[in-house]
Structure 1
Amino acid sequence: MDDFSKTAPILIGFQNNYFLPKGILYDEVEESSRITGVGENTLYLLTFCAEQFALVINTPIHFTQNYSELKNPIGILKVIAVGAFKAGSYGAQTIKQLDLFSNIIEVVFGKRSLNAFTHIGLAENIKKHGATNIILAGTVSSICIDSTVRTAVARGSNATILSDCTPRRTPFEQAFYCEKVSLLYARVCQSNTFIKYWRDHE
């Protein structure tokens, strides 16, 4: 772990389409989120540590009404294009639980791809606040989390993935990414381990 004043958690996909029963992609992560406690763990981390970080960033994904940004989408993007994450819609809204931290969380709009560093000036924002370490929480381990953390490392950041704050689509997928793939370029730990470290160094 490193200096919290140079650390920036990046929250990805904490939106109604994933986390509320009416959400189009709710079934993709519901079991994982419920068993692991993704929402609760993330909120618990913010309760204890948020004010110690250089900044906390929320990067919601939004698309225009006709998904003109997506050219011949395949895979998860094709699933999204049936109605998920339209700007201004219920499903695109950030989950209400994060309102408790609205005075701390900086919302960076403009994410329209899997990688949170694409198009939205995220790297410049992190640099402006002097953050050299990032923490990843959100959806989904094998998609947005993986693509974002790889870019963060390529840009020179130290990266930590919180395994109990990043839901997966299947148990195999989570185990494979957290125990095999992600460890090749990032730290992987649970949120309670991170909080323990913070308590020991406050």
Structure 2
Amino acid sequence: MKSAIVLIDIQNDYFEGGKNELHHSDKAAVHAKQALNFFRNAKMPVYHVQHVSGGEGATFFLPDTNGAEIHKSVTPLAEEKVFVKHAPNAFYNTGLSGELLSNGINHLVICGMMSHMCIDTTVRAAWDYGFSVTVLEDACTTMDLVLKNGAVIPAETVHNTFMASLNGTFAKVLQADDLCHGELQ
């Protein structure tokens, strides 16, 4: 098994003062950094995914803004590749799948933001590509969701629901500590 970590959309607009602040993004970033350091120290492949909004009416991750930049907690090193995406799926028109497959990577550790959107979509797509996936649930976060009738689903409930739905069929869901203490798959 050859593993790589994929950090998805850990960008400034999702943090305090950003244009789309998420629930406890700072805590998720601490755990993402922990996992990132684990991969760096083990000299295993690291990939970053950065969302840049291009659609009409976009309100965050706008091109050439500080909000679209990768957060300082997980700043890519010069040798780490960054894939820019314009859709929830980190594989869609990015070249990520080709990069991973050409390097013989068959297991992905995924973390980042938002659990209910880009993490969920990417994990399911990774499964379609035949990758084995581990999701670090404490290194991911999301936001409250509002139903058409105005009912609010709290971010914690949204996150836990998506982690539970991915666990088993599409991924193994762990915490960053589990990864760093030997439970790589």
Q: TM-score, normalised by structure 2?
A: 0.85
Distance, in Å, in 2 between the alignment partners of 1:108 and 1:94 is 11
Distance, in Å, in 2 between the alignment partners of 1:183 and 1:198 is 15
- Whether 1:33 aligns to 2:25 is yes
Which residue does 2:6 correspond to in 1? 10
Q: Could you say what secondary structure the match of 1:108 adopts?
A: strand
Question: Considering only aligned residues, what root-mean-square deviation do their CA atoms show, in Å?
Answer: 1.9
Offset at residue 53 of structure 1 (A): 5.3
Offset at residue 120 of structure 1 (A): 0.6
Uncovered stretches (5+) of structure 1, i.e. residues with no partner: 69-80
Question: Retained in 1: the 8 A contact 2:29–2:74?
Answer: no
Offset at residue 106 of structure 1 (A): 1.4
Distance, in Å, in 1 between the alignment partners of 2:166 and 2:38 is 29
- Whether 1:102 aligns to 2:77 is yes
Deviates more, 1:155-164 or 1:190-199: 190-199
Distance, in Å, in 2 between the alignment partners of 1:190 and 1:7 is 17
Which residue does 2:117 correspond to in 1? 143
Which residue does 1:86 correspond to in 2? 62
Q: Could you say what secondary structure the match of 1:151 adopts?
A: helix
Question: 1:53-90 CA deviation, whole Å, 9 max, x = no partner?
Answer: 542111101134xx25xxxxxxxxxxxx3421111111
User: How many aligned positions are there?
Assistant: 173
Residues 12 and 41 of structure 1: is their aligned pair in 2 closer, same or farther, counting only changes over 3 Å?
Answer: same
Aligned AA for 1:84?
F
Distance, in Å, in 1 between the alignment partners of 2:182 and 2:160 is 24
Q: Could you say what secondary structure the match of 1:49 adopts?
A: helix
Question: 1:11-90 alignment to 2 at 5 Å?
Answer: 11-19=7-15, 21-26=16-21, 29=22, 31-34=23-26, 37-52=27-42, 54-64=44-54, 67=55, 81-90=57-66
Question: 1:77-131 CA deviation, whole Å, 9 max, x = no partner?
Answer: xxxx3421111111111112223x514521112x000000100111001012210
Q: TM-score, normalised by structure 1?
A: 0.78
Q: Could you say what secondary structure the match of 2:24 adopts?
A: helix
| Bigger fraction of residues in helix | 1
Aligned AA for 1:23?
G
Uncovered stretches (5+) of structure 2, i.e. residues with no partner: 144-154
Question: Retained in 2: the 8 A contact 1:12–1:60?
Answer: yes
| Bigger fraction of residues in strand | 2
Residue 186 (structure 1) aligned to one of 165, 171, 179:
171
Q: Could you say what secondary structure the match of 1:63 adopts?
A: coil
Distance, in Å, in 2 between the alignment partners of 1:83 and 1:44 is 30
Aligned AA for 1:40?
V
Aligned AA for 1:107?
V
Question: Retained in 1: the 8 A contact 2:4–2:45?
Answer: yes
